[in-house]
Structure 1
Amino acid sequence: MILSFYVTRKFFIPFLFSVFSLFSVFILQFLMRFSDQLVGKGIDTILIVELIIYNLAWMMVLVVPMSVLVATLMAFGGLSQNNEITAIRAAGISIYRLLLFPIILTLGLVWFLIYFNNEVLPDANHKTKNLMWEITATRPALSIVPNVFMTDIMGYAILAEKVTQDSNKLVNVKIYDNSRYGTVTILTAKKGDLNFNEDRSKLLMNLYDGEIHEQGEKSYYRKLKFKKHALLMNSEQFSIKKITDEYRSDRELSIPELKARSDSLKKVFAEHVQIMKTLALPFFYGDSVGRAAPAMNTGDSGSEIWVTRLQGKVQQQINTIETTLTALAYLKTQINAYTVEADKKYSIPVACLVFLLLGIPLGMMTRRGGFGAAASISLFFFLLYWAFLIGGEKLADRGMVSPFIGMWAANFLLAFTGVYLLYRAVRDNATIELSIFTRFIPKRFRKGIADVQDS
């Protein structure tokens, strides 16, 4: 019992350290990614803090499994490096006894993450989207990143060299207007501002000191100069009405909600399949009713009319079949997306247990308990795991593999590897060179890992 508590303490302290370190990395990455849109734009600091807090939810889902692997490698690598594993074997104590408390602790983390994914994460994702919509709705120019085309507004591509502190003033503006068929209009202006009109139904962009270049069909071209020009654009993309529960995406739904939507779509899918059978069977088996074909007028004009009508009916039937096939493909994609998301809410938490089973033998076999060694090995398996997970998600969404295989293949592969290595580590006392893993890590990361190892 004392030995089990000792191993648990060796695991728990590195776990807390890893959680703190990885959270810091993710938060810095988030701030770097959105700094251009949030910092120095006149947004209330409380809103920025609130946005960071909501984004901590998805970070938690990634940080916990990653921290389990790092902590396991440090704990069992340290035990092996200090010859404590050898002493335990010499005392006649089974190595498997050391695993009891870490497994119990990890199962608790699995349960916590499943609950978190189901109850907390969907609402946090939804509130994050709502907050971004609210910020964008009050300051539409926030969607414009300097020197990057903004194409959120249908029919328009907007480029601004600078967005000033109040976030509604633009400098050196260029707009490509493709909203009118057959006509391309390019507007340039030294400055401008972007706001909603009074009823918020349109976006109003006031441009100052600029030109309008308009080119249409048949070499038509017109150039106009202006001191001030007002441009009205559709504001549907920024409508506050979108911020409702009705617009929740798959990442904003709990497992019961995902299953409910999937089941309802499966019923619609079955109805479309039945419609498809009804439409397609006559093409393969003829008219099953056995009705006689309508009499055809033997005259030239009569036969032409009859053929024209028949062609029209056949084309109408083909169009209906094509529409039904398109609907079936869309429904299948949506069903796959909901099923994949539901499976992912289980597979990522279970990865905690998988990483524990993998980290125990790897730590014992590498005999390195430092953070640098744990970081290098962990980075290799993180990249492998997320490559399988992301690739499986994309393949499952497209229907190329089943959602179950797409979401669980990485867990099964690494779990099998972990069990095999654990058997080898306990029975044969095998070792692994650390260089096996570092050679697969990008060169820009190797120096930092080596520096940490040396320290």
Structure 2
Amino acid sequence: MKIVTQYNPLRFLTFGVSIMDRYLVAELLAPFLFGVSLFSSIGVAIGSLELIRKITDAGLPLSTAMKVFLLKMPFFIAFALPASMLLATLITYIRLSSDSELIALRSCGVSIYRLILPAIVMSLIVTVITFAFNEFVVPAANYEASVILDSALNADRKDFQENNIIYPEFGEVDQPNGEKKEILKRLFYAEEFNGELMKNLTIVDRSKTGVNQIVVSESARWNIAENTWDFFNGTIYVISADSSYRNILRFEHHQLQLSRAPLDFARKGRKADDMNIAQVQEQLKLIMPSNDYKEIRKLKVRMQQKIALPFACLVFGLVGAVLGTKPQRTSKATGFGISVLIIFAYYLLRTIGDALGLSGFLTDWMAAWLPNLFGLGTGIWLLFRISR
């Protein structure tokens, strides 16, 4: 009696780990780990050139140099993970194709989609790992390395802007015709800042309709307990709409209900590479009222890049698996060469997108995701061609 089973074209999407899946994943692991070691080593070697120069010029202790070296490694590992996923899928599927193993599986009715599914699943897992690693480990390690290096070089690193704190605050006001117009509501300026106390301040306040207020003060400090500013030894000038003085108030100590934002802005300290996504978002909230479009655009691009980089693992996994499944007789060395070319093209597109995003030619989202979108589109196009 012959049993006929109905073929389901979507069966490759059903959950279940087969012997073939375990075999393919086992084949992918070795080149993936090799790629992580290789690309991380290349990145560390290139990045260490500047460190070696500083060690030579400043005579840093070997223990300090090693500590900075180890703290910099997570940064290079984060960039190595997507490249390693490409190398692993490309070399593995090229090897399987060259040994006719893929032909044998295809002859048994296994579709091309089912063949690359283990690579896609592994790429998704690596994507999650890369995102977590790039979010929780890399920024903290980068920041710690910078602090140690600057301290060893006597660079006196400060997590705040020391001189000329300028914080403009914009807001919408109602016009006589009922429309809203964005204007400069308040301008905060401090000549010096030591991390806690601001000195020689001038605040121009236009937040009230028809009245301008100018505050000149010798010093000011943020009062955490009362959530306000304490100004010391200064004068408040109240100016009417016709530019005449309405009132002059001299004080030794005066509290003003102003925003804390100038203090947070002065303490911004960290670079984008030293912050995770949540910290970048907080920094954006601080500078948004200032209308510093250049810095705002830069932070938005950097934040999108932090999200886009992990998804390069998925893109590389798809492209590598699809290219590797093409019928061919090539060696692992050829696969490595193709990997290098694709990686170079990806980071070239990333650099171009970064430049276009910072210049405002592309939106922050498009600038960061340009190489991923290009790679994903190429991978899907190749997949449909091969599956025919």
Do both share a fold (TM > 0.5)?
yes
Q: Tell me the residue number matched to 1:409.
A: 370
Shift of 1:68: 0.5
User: Number of paired residues?
Assistant: 263
Within the candidate set 57, 60, 74, 2:91 is matched to: 74
Within the candidate set 330, 333, 337, 2:298 is matched to: 337
The superposition leaves residues 44-89 of structure 1 with CA deviations (integer Å, 9 ceiling, x where unpaired) of: 2211111111111210121000001011100111111111111011
Q: Tell me the residue number matched to 1:349.
A: 310
Whole-Å Cα distance in 2 between the matches of residues 382 and 121 of structure 1? 21
- 1:251 equivalent in alignment to 2:273: yes
Whole-Å Cα distance in 2 between the matches of residues 61 and 368 of structure 1? 32
Whole-Å Cα distance in 2 between the matches of residues 248 and 368 of structure 1? 50
Shift of 1:398: 1.9
The superposition leaves residues 418-438 of structure 1 with CA deviations (integer Å, 9 ceiling, x where unpaired) of: 0111122222xxxxxxxxxxx
Is the contact between residue 78 and residue 370 of structure 1 (CA under 8 Å) also seen in structure 2? yes
Whole-Å Cα distance in 1 between the matches of residues 354 and 329 of structure 2? 34
Shift of 1:10: 1.1
Taking a change above 3 Å as real, the CA distance of residues 376 and 391 of structure 1, as seen in their structure-2 partners, is: same
Shift of 1:366: 6.3
Within the candidate set 266, 282, 291, 1:260 is matched to: 282
Within the candidate set 69, 72, 78, 1:52 is matched to: 69
Q: Tell me the residue number matched to 2:142.
A: 125
User: Which protein shows a greater Rg?
Assistant: 1
Within the candidate set 50, 53, 58, 1:36 is matched to: 53
- 1:114 equivalent in alignment to 2:75: no
- 1:388 equivalent in alignment to 2:349: yes
Q: Tell me the residue number matched to 1:105.
A: 122
Is the contact between residue 94 and residue 332 of structure 2 (CA under 8 Å) also seen in structure 1? no
Q: CA RMSD of the aligned region, Å?
A: 2.2
- 1:85 equivalent in alignment to 2:90: no
Whole-Å Cα distance in 1 between the matches of residues 283 and 108 of structure 2? 57
Is the contact between residue 74 and residue 138 of structure 2 (CA under 8 Å) also seen in structure 1? yes
SS in 1 for 2:325: helix
The amino acid of 2:45's aligned partner reads L
Shift of 1:369: 5.9
Q: Tell me the residue number matched to 1:20.
A: 37
Is the contact between residue 123 and residue 252 of structure 1 (CA under 8 Å) also seen in structure 2? yes
Whole-Å Cα distance in 2 between the matches of residues 93 and 128 of structure 1? 50
Q: Which has the higher strand share?
A: 2
Whole-Å Cα distance in 2 between the matches of residues 247 and 355 of structure 1? 35
Q: Tell me the residue number matched to 1:176.
A: none
Q: Tell me the residue number matched to 1:136.
A: 153
Q: Tell me the residue number matched to 2:338.
A: 377
Whole-Å Cα distance in 1 between the matches of residues 267 and 82 of structure 2? 30
The amino acid of 2:363's aligned partner reads S
Taking a change above 3 Å as real, the CA distance of residues 46 and 366 of structure 1, as seen in their structure-2 partners, is: farther
The amino acid of 1:376's aligned partner reads G
SS in 2 for 1:137: coil
Within the candidate set 360, 363, 384, 1:423 is matched to: 384
Whole-Å Cα distance in 2 between the matches of residues 138 and 341 of structure 1? 26
Is the contact between residue 393 and residue 407 of structure 1 (CA under 8 Å) also seen in structure 2? yes
Whole-Å Cα distance in 1 between the matches of residues 97 and 325 of structure 2? 5
The superposition leaves residues 14-63 of structure 1 with CA deviations (integer Å, 9 ceiling, x where unpaired) of: 10111111222222223334322214854222111111111112101210
Is the contact between residue 336 and residue 403 of structure 1 (CA under 8 Å) also seen in structure 2? yes
Q: Tell me the residue number matched to 2:214.
A: none
Identity %: 25
The amino acid of 2:352's aligned partner reads G
Structure 1: where are the runs of 5+ without partners? Answer: 140-243, 270-330, 428-455
Whole-Å Cα distance in 1 between the matches of residues 297 and 64 of structure 2? 35
The superposition leaves residues 236-266 of structure 1 with CA deviations (integer Å, 9 ceiling, x where unpaired) of: xxxxxxxx97411122111112112213322
Is the contact between residue 88 and residue 95 of structure 1 (CA under 8 Å) also seen in structure 2? no
Q: Tell me the residue number matched to 1:170.
A: none
TM-score after normalising by structure 2: 0.64
Is the contact between residue 268 and residue 283 of structure 2 (CA under 8 Å) also seen in structure 1? no
Whole-Å Cα distance in 1 between the matches of residues 50 and 290 of structure 2? 40
Taking a change above 3 Å as real, the CA distance of residues 78 and 31 of structure 1, as seen in their structure-2 partners, is: same
Whole-Å Cα distance in 2 between the matches of residues 391 and 415 of structure 1? 18
Is the contact between residue 74 and residue 371 of structure 1 (CA under 8 Å) also seen in structure 2? yes
Is the contact between residue 76 and residue 369 of structure 1 (CA under 8 Å) also seen in structure 2? no
TM-score after normalising by structure 1: 0.55
Whole-Å Cα distance in 1 between the matches of residues 365 and 273 of structure 2? 17
Is the contact between residue 350 and residue 368 of structure 2 (CA under 8 Å) also seen in structure 1? yes
Whole-Å Cα distance in 2 between the matches of residues 253 and 138 of structure 1? 21
Whole-Å Cα distance in 1 between the matches of residues 276 and 150 of structure 2? 21
